[in-house]
Each structure stands twice: as C-alpha cells, then as structure tokens.
C-alpha cells in the first residue's frame, strides 16, 4: 500500500512539473504585424504584385507556435495560411488588374491571440480597350442584330453598355469579360455602334475607354400604314367621324401584318384588323388625335393625325342669386352656356338640367327657383347628343343667428372691471355683438371664428347704480336680442367696528357680554370673532345684515383679554377691526362678602384689644395689643390682611384672635368660646379701645 502511494505522488509531481515547463515553453507575445505591397502601392496594369506579411512574435520557450495568417480585401477573406514558420507570408497577384484594387489587411492569430496590420491600398492603373463585334451590319427594317462586347484579359464583375451614337441601346451585367445583346433599330439609315464596360471596384466602378466603332446600315421596306379621317376639316361637336386604318404593302407578303386604330386618352384601341380596319364615332372637342399602327414580326410603323373639333356650345356656368342667403329662404340658380355656334346651333335647342337633391328641367332659360339648402349643385347643358356639365356650385346658406345668452363671467365689484359674455348658440360668421346698458349702447365687437367670444369689460362706479344690460347679435339682416341681465355692484366692506356691551368699565363677573361687529358694504357678510392667543375663531356666522354680535351669557375673570372681529363678503376682501381689551371685574356680592368678613374680623380684634386693655388696668399691666391693617387704603378687589400683636404673639386671623381672647377670659356662661358674653359689662363704654376700619 505504501509503495502505491509513493508511486502516485511521484507521477503527480511529474505531471505538475511537466505542465509548468510546457506553460513556460509556450509563453508568447505578438509584437507587430506589418503588410507591404511590392513593387509599389500604385502600379500599371499587368504588373506582378506581391503582398508581404511580416510579423514579430516574442516567446519564452523553444517550442514551435502554430500561426494562422489571414489576408483581407475590403473586409473579405482572399487568402489564408497555417504555418509554424516565422518566415514572411506572401500573397501573389500576377498580372494585376483593376479588379485587384482595394484595401488589404494582414491578420495573425496564435492560440486565440490576434493582431492586424495597418491597411494598405493597392491601385492598378489602366483597363484594356473593349472590342465590339456584330453578326451582321446590313439590315432590313425590322431585322435584329447580335452585338458582342469583349474586355480582353480583364477579371472581376462587369457592366457592358451598347450605344448608337449617344443613345443607349442596352446593357448587360455579368462576371464574365464577354457580353452579348440583341439589338433592333427603329429608324432607317446608318447607325454608328460602340460599347464600353465598367469593373465593379468598391466603392466606385472603374470605366473603360470606348470600343471600336461598327457601322450598321438599315434599309426600309415598301410598306406603310395609311390613316384616313372623314370629314377632316370644319368638324363640329356632334358631327359623325369615319376613321379608317390600312396598310400599303406594295406586293409584299401580308400574312404577318396586323393593324391597330387607337385614340389618345383611350387605353383601349378603337379597332384592329389584318390589313385594314374602320371606326365610326361622334366628334367631341376640342381636339382628337388618332394613330394607325401596323406590326410585322419585329417591325412597327405608325401614322398619327389630329382633328380640331369646333365647340358647338360652351360648358354651362351655374350661378346663384342673391349671393348671400339664409337657410330655407328662396333663391335662384341660373344655368347658361355663354358661347353657342350660331351657324350650327339655335340657342333654343339647348336644354338645361339641374342636378342636386332633385332634378329640374328648364326649356331654354336654365332658371331654377329653389330653397336655400347646404348642398352642391351642378347643371347640364344638352343639344344634339352633346352633354356638358358645369363645375359644382357649393351653396352654403347662412344660418340665422339665435337668441344670444348674456351672462356674468366674474364678480361685479364696485370700481373694478368685470366681464359680460354675449354668445349665440348658432349662426353663421361673422356675428356682430352689441352690449346695451339701460337702452344705451356701450360697446360693439365682431366675432369671425368659432373659438372667438364676445367678452365685454364693464366698470360700475356708483354703488347705488342698478345696471340693466342687454346683448344684441346680428349676422346679415337678422337681429336677435337677449334677455335682460340686472347687475348690482358688490361694495367691498369697510373696516369693522367692534362694540362691547355693557361698557368696558362696567363689566363684572356674572354679567352678559355682547361683542357687536359692524361694517359698511354689500351683504351677505361672514363674521368671525377672535380672542388673541386662540388659533380658532370663537364664532363664525353669515348674515344678511351688516352687523352681528357674539354673546357670552355669563362672563368670568377667564373671559378677560383682547378681542377683535373679521368680516368678508363676495368681494373676497377680508377686513379686521381694532382689538378691544376686556377686563372682567369682581362681582358685587363677592365684594360685599369680603367687606363683611373684614368688618367682623376688625370688630373681633377691637373687642379683643379692649379686653386686654381692661385686664391691663386691673393690675397686671400687660402691654396693650397692637392692631394693623394692610393695605391701609384697600380697593374693592384687594385682599385685606389684619394683624393683632400682643407682646411676643402675633394673630393674623379671626380664629387666632378668638383663641387668644379665650385664653385670657375663659369660657362664657353658655359655653361658647370667644363669644361677646365673656366681655366686661362696661366694654361698650370704653371708646378708647374702639378702632374703626373702612373697606
């Protein structure tokens, strides 16, 4: 087992080492690829040209590399070679031709790595002169000839062209340097033929010089078509015409002859036959052109003749009167041919017909009475089998204007411009609109297009003015007037006044408070009351009056503060009052209660003082109590502080004072502590102990 492991590891190491060596031996880099053209990039025709591809490859080992050389001409592969040699690769162009012209590139590929040379352009100068050969040079009218054009020694893709002087007879495209074409001639006499060729050489073709000239003689045959027309002169519209087409053969075999009679403007022939044909027709103007053509194998001959046709009567003209008419109103249509060949036709022979929704015949006059409708009319004039139609007359009767509607387009605010719209639902343009105020004409405008409007700008300067407006619409002789539009101006609001009831100096707790907001302007008015510091209004209401109040049924100290109101009407201008400072005073009953409490407290303190004074006279000689009241001049809303000082003890309330006197005097006979029964009998006579207090 150990021997096997040793053998396997030896083989593995050997493979790894051999792989490393192989990679090192085949490491390479293509340094350059160069293409050269020898002997030069521009050479004359028939030069032996060599394209040499030289490469430089850098390697790190000694093993041979497989190299693939590819030579391109105008991006098309023209030569490929696989080799392990580093020698130059040659691409030979023996006896170079113009077809070898183009851009060449050499490309080297080694193990997937590719490098290309810079392109080189080869230009070969000169083409061989073409030669022209005909199978025959003497022809009879109608014979065909085969022409052969040769480009000696040239290669590539060719275009061959055959000419009779400057007239091209045909062309052939081929990849051969030889081309044939079958030619025939339509005229007699001598014809000078030549050819030339072009070589397809991207991006442009190269043209050769012209070939040798070959003269071809074409003689005519004693055969011709004959066209006869009767009558040929003084032909009027409606006259019968007899036309014949025949062939004069002068004794030639007529088996293969055919004749065709045709008329210009007619895609089908009128008649045909072997050696002759005839046709009869009615002349129509102003000019007729006929052709008689004969064919015999490849031979074609023809004769043409024109016939001038005199007009029997002119095409009718349809007119209307009056020139402008409204729908369903009567109008007159007149159909008339202005010119009549009086030497040939009596005007009374003309008949007229009107073509529209209905047909109306008129004997000679061509006058039709109809209702005006939106339609196209044409008329027909007819005489001796000749019918002529007029151009279409488009009748567009005017639509009477409808009753206009008058409307207000924005708010009529005093001394500010606003707009009044006047518009009719139907009516032919142009429409004239007139705006009246109290029967007085204000403004006028003309509307020409459907997307235009009659919009009038109006300003009211007097608040008491009540405007009555009407609109009139006109088109042609039609006039329509709108209903009356009554407009009163919206007067913007004045600055509000905020009135407080009751008077500001007499507002006490428990009173009813009314904040009255009043303005001048056009109702309805939206009122809002605010208290400063609050985001939301206290009340919002809309009134048909110019004033409104906000009521607080029972006020308290919490209702004190700054108040204001805002107002707005249809003029959309918000106005605000000046703020009002409201101070809610204490209620009268609270004042009375406080006064009573203070009086009782003072009375109690005075009584206690007198008792102490009395005791002090009885021998104890105690220091008399001292009484003080703060503030010394209290107001109705102020709090009172009454202080009794006796020795080192201080009493600031009625209960403290009562306790003090209870300790001094003991209990009363009925057991009530601090009552007046415990005072001496002569207390009321001791005026020196009485201290008045005023609230």
Instruction: Give which of 387, 363, 395, 391 is closest to 378, Cα–Cα.
Output: 391
The predicted pLDDT at position 372 comes to: 85
Domain membership of residue 43 (yes or no) is yes
Q: Are 526 and 541 in contact (CB under 8 A)?
A: yes
Q: Is residue 214 located within the same domain as residue 240?
A: no
Is the per-residue pLDDT at 228 higher than 70? yes
Residue 504 class from Cβ within 10 Å (0-12 exposed, 13-18 middle, 19+ buried)? exposed
Let me know whether 385 and 425 are in one domain.
Answer: no
Listed residues 582, 607, 624: the one ending a domain: 582
Q: DSSP secondary-structure letter at 98?
A: G
Rounded-to-integer distance, Cα 631 and Cα 640, Å: 6
> Is pLDDT of 1 > 70?
no
What percent of the chain stands above pLDDT 70? 82
Residue 41: how many CA atoms within 13 Å on its side-chain side? 8
pLDDT over 50 at 402, yes or no: yes
Write the CB contacts of 445 (distance below 8 Å, at least 6 apart in sequence): 432, 433, 454, 456
Residue 134 vs residues 131, 196, 297: alpha-carbon distances, Å: 10, 15, 21
**Do 444 and 460 sit in the same domain of this protein?**
yes
- pLDDT surpassing 70 at residue 423: yes
DSSP run (H or E) holding 614: helix 588-615
Q: Which residues neighbour 278 within 8 Å (Cβ) at sequence distance 6 or greater?
A: 242, 243, 244, 245, 261, 271
Give the pLDDT confidence of 32-71 residue by residue, as tens digits. Answer: 999 999 999 999 988 999 999 999 998 887 778 899 999 9
32 and 120, same domain (yes or no): yes
pLDDT given for residue 6 in this prediction: 42
Ranges 155-164, 473-482, 591-600, 635-644: which has the least confidence? 635-644
Do 353 and 360 form a contact (C-beta atoms < 8 A)? yes
Calculated CA dihedral for residues 335, 338, 342, 346, nearest 10 degrees:
10
With a cut of 70, say whether residue 694 has pLDDT above it: no
Residue 458 in contact with residue 419, Cβ under 8 Å?
yes
Q: What SS3 state is found at 664?
A: helix
- pLDDT score for 33: 95
Placement of tokens 């009038």 in the chain: 456
Residues 139 and 212 in one domain: yes
Q: Phi and psi of 175, rounded to 5°?
A: -100, 10
Query: Cα(435)–Cα(456) distance, rounded to whole angstroms?
Result: 8
DSSP string for residues in 456-501? EEE----TT-EEEEEEEEEETTEEEEPPPEEEEPBPPP---EEEEE
Beta strands (DSSP E) in 232-275 are 235-236, 240-248, 257-263, 271-273
Residues 503 and 564 in one domain: yes
Q: Which of 474, 480, 476, 482 is nearest to 432 (CA)?
A: 474
Q: What residue spans of 473-587 are helical by DSSP H? A: none
Residue 14 belongs to a domain: no
What is residue 35's DSSP assignment? Answer: E
Count of CB atoms within 10 A of residue 395's CB?
A: 18
**Taking 50 as the threshold, does the pLDDT of residue 429 lie above it?**
yes
Domain end position, chosen among 462, 486, 510: 486
pLDDT digits (tens, 9 = 90+) for 103-156: 999 999 998 899 999 999 998 888 899 999 999 999 888 888 999 999 998 888
CA 56 to chain centroid: 63
Q: Are 557 and 509 in contact (CB under 8 A)?
A: yes
Evaluate if residue 669 carries a pLDDT over 50.
Answer: no
558 φ, ψ to 5°? -65, -15
Q: Are residues 326 and 387 in the same domain?
A: yes
> Is the pLDDT assigned to residue 30 strictly greater than 60?
yes
Which residues are within 8 A (CB) of 112 and not within 5 positions of it... i.e. 6 or more apart?
none
Does the pLDDT of residue 623 top 70, yes or no?
no
Whether 238 and 157 share a structural domain:
no
What is the structure's pLDDT at 18? 38
In whole angstroms, give the CA distance from residue 545 to residue 514: 17
Domain-embedded: residue 454 = yes
- Would you say 390 and 354 are in contact if contact means Cβ atoms under 8 Å apart? no
Residue 22 lies in a domain: no
Q: What angle do CA 488, 492, 497 make, to 5 degrees?
A: 130
Specify the DSSP element, H or E, that contains 659.
helix 654-665
List of residues 6+ apart from 11 with CB closer than 8 A: none
Asked whether the predicted pLDDT for residue 622 surpasses 50, the reply is no
More confident site: 142 or 1: 142
Instruction: Mark whether 215 and 240 lie in a shared domain.
Output: no
Within 10 A of 637 (CB to CB), how many other CB atoms are there?
10
CB contact burial 31-51 (16+ within 10 A = b; e otherwise): eebebebeeeeebebebebeb
465 in a domain, yes or no?
yes
Integer Cα distance of 320 and 226 in angstroms: 51
Please state the domain count of the chain. Answer: 6
Measured in whole angstroms, the distance separating CA 417 from the mean position of its chain's CA atoms is 34
Here the tokens at position 2 are 């150990």
pLDDT at residue 652 in the model = 55
- 481 within some domain: yes
The reported pLDDT for the residue numbered 364 is: 67
User: Distance between CA atoms of 378 and 358, rounded to whole angstroms?
Assistant: 11
Q: Which domain holds residue 373?
A: 317-394
Q: Please tell me the distance from the alpha carbon of residue 286 to that of residue 289, in angstroms, as a whole number.
A: 10
What pLDDT, on a 0 to 100 scale, did the predictor assign at position 38? Answer: 94
Percent of the chain at pLDDT > 90 equals: 41
Is 11 a domain residue?
A: no
Q: For residue 663, with 0-12 CB atoms within 10 Å meaning exposed, 13-18 middle and 19 or more buried, which class applies? A: exposed
Residues 267-292 as b/e (b if ≥16 CB within 10 A, e otherwise) read eebbbeeeebbebeeebbbeebebbb
Examine the domain organization and report whether 563 and 529 are in the same domain: yes
User: What is the C-alpha to C-alpha distance for residues 373 and 651, in angstroms, rounded to an integer?
Assistant: 118
> Residue 298 is part of a domain; what is its CATH number?
2.60.40.10
| Residue 634, pLDDT above cutoff 80 | no
Domain ends where: 280, 308, 336?
A: 308
Instruction: Verify that 61 and 84 share a domain, yes or no.
Output: yes
The pair of three-digit structure tokens given for residue 306, joined into one six-digit string: 């024109």
For residue 37, being part of any structural domain is answered with yes
How many angstroms separate the CA atoms of 520 and 522, rounded?
7
Q: Is the pLDDT of residue 384 over 80?
A: yes
Mark whether 97 and 146 lie in a shared domain.
no
Q: By CB neighbour count within 10 A (0-12 exposed, 13-18 middle, 19+ buried), where does 613 fall?
A: middle
Sign of the torsion angle spanned by Cα atoms 506, 511, 515, 516: negative
- pLDDT at position 695, please? 30
Measured distance CA(149)–CA(154) in Å, rounded? 13
Q: What is the mean pLDDT of the chain?
A: 82
Q: Report how far residue 490's alpha carbon sits from residue 521's, in angstroms, rounded to the nearest whole number.
A: 8
- For the segment 496-504, the average pLDDT, to the nearest whole number, is 89
């Amino acid at each position: 087992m150990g021997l096997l492991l040793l053998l396997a590891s030896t083989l593995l190491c050997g493979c790894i080492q051999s792989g490393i060596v192989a990679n090192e031996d085949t490491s390479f880099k293509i340094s350059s690829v160069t293409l050269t053209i020898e002997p030069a990039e521009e050479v004359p025709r028939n030069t032996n040209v060599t394209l040499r591809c030289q490469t430089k490859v850098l390697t790190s080992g000694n093993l041979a590399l497989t190299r693939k050389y590819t030579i391109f001409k105008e991006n098309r592969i023209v030569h490929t070679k696989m080799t392990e040699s580093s020698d130059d690769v040659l691409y030979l162009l023996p006896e170079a031709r113009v077809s070898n012209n183009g851009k060449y590139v050499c490309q080297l590929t080694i193990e997937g790595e590719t490098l290309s040379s810079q392109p080189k352009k080869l230009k070969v100068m000169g083409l061989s002169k073409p030669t022209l050969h005909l199978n025959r040079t003497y022809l009879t009218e109608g014979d065909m000839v085969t022409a052969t054009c040769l480009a000696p020694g040239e290669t590539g893709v060719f275009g061959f062209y055959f000419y009779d002087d400057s007239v091209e007879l045909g062309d052939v495209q081929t990849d051969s340097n030889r081309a044939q074409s079958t030619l025939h001639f339509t005229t007699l006499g001598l014809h000078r033929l030549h050819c030339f060729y072009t070589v397809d050489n991207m991006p442009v073709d190269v043209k050769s010089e012209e070939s040798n000239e070959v003269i071809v003689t074409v003689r005519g045959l004693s055969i011709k078509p004959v066209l006869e027309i009767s009558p040929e002169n003084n032909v009027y519209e409606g006259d019968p015409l007899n036309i014949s087409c025949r062939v004069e053969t002068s004794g030639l075999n007529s088996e293969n002859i055919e004749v065709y009679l045709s008329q210009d403007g007619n895609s089908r022939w009128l008649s045909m036959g072997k050696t002759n044909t005839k046709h009869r027709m009615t002349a129509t103007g102003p000019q007729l052109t006929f052709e008689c053509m004969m064919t015999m194998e490849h031979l074609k001959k023809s004769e043409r003749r024109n016939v001038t046709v005199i007009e029997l009567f002119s095409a009718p003209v349809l007119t209307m009167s009056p020139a402008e008419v409204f729908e369903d109103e009567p109008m007159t249509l007149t159909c008339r041919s202005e010119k009549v060949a009086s030497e040939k036709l009596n005007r009374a022979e003309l008949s007229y017909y009107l073509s529209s929704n209905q047909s109306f015949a008129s004997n000679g006059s061509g006058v039709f009475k109809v209702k005006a409708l939106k339609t196209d009319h044409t008329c027909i004039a007819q005489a001796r089998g000749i019918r002529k139609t007029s151009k279409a007359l488009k009748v567009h009767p005017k639509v009477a204007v409808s009753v206009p509607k008058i409307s207000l387009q924005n708010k009529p605010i005093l001394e500010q411009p606003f707009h009044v719209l006047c518009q009719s639902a139907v009516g032919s343009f142009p429409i004239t609109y007139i705006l009246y105020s109290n029967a007085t004409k204000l403004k006028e405008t003309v509307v020409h297009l459907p997307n235009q409007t009659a919009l009038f700008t109006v300003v009211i300067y007097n608040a008491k003015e009540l405007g009555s407006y009407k609109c009139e619409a006109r088109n042609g002789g039609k006039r329509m007037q709108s209903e009356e539009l009554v407009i009163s101006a919206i007067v913007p609001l004045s600055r509000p006044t905020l009135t407080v009831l009751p008077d500001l100096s007499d507002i006490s707790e428990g009173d009813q408070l009314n904040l009255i907001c009043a303005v001048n302007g056009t109702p309805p008015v939206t009122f809002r009351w605010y208290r400063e510091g609050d985001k939301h209004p206290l009340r919002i209401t809309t009134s048909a009056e110019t004033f409104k109040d906000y009521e607080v049924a029972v006020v308290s100290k919490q209702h004190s503060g700054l108040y204001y109101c805002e107002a707005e009407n249809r003029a959309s201008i918000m106005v605000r009052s000046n703020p009002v400072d409201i101070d809610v005073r204490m209620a009268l009953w609270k004042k009375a209660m406080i006064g009573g409490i203070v009086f009782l407290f003072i009375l109690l303190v005075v009584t206690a003082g007198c008792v102490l004074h009395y005791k002090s006279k009885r021998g104890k000689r105690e220091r008399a109590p001292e009484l003080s009241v703060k503030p010394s001049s209290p107001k109705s809303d102020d709090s009172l502080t009454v202080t009794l000082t006796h020795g080192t003890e201080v009493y600031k309330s009625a209960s403290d004072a009562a306790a003090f006197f209870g300790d001094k005097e003991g209990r009363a006979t009925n057991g009530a502590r601090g009552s007046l029964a415990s005072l001496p009998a002569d207390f009321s006579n001791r005026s020196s102990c009485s201290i008045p207090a005023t609230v």
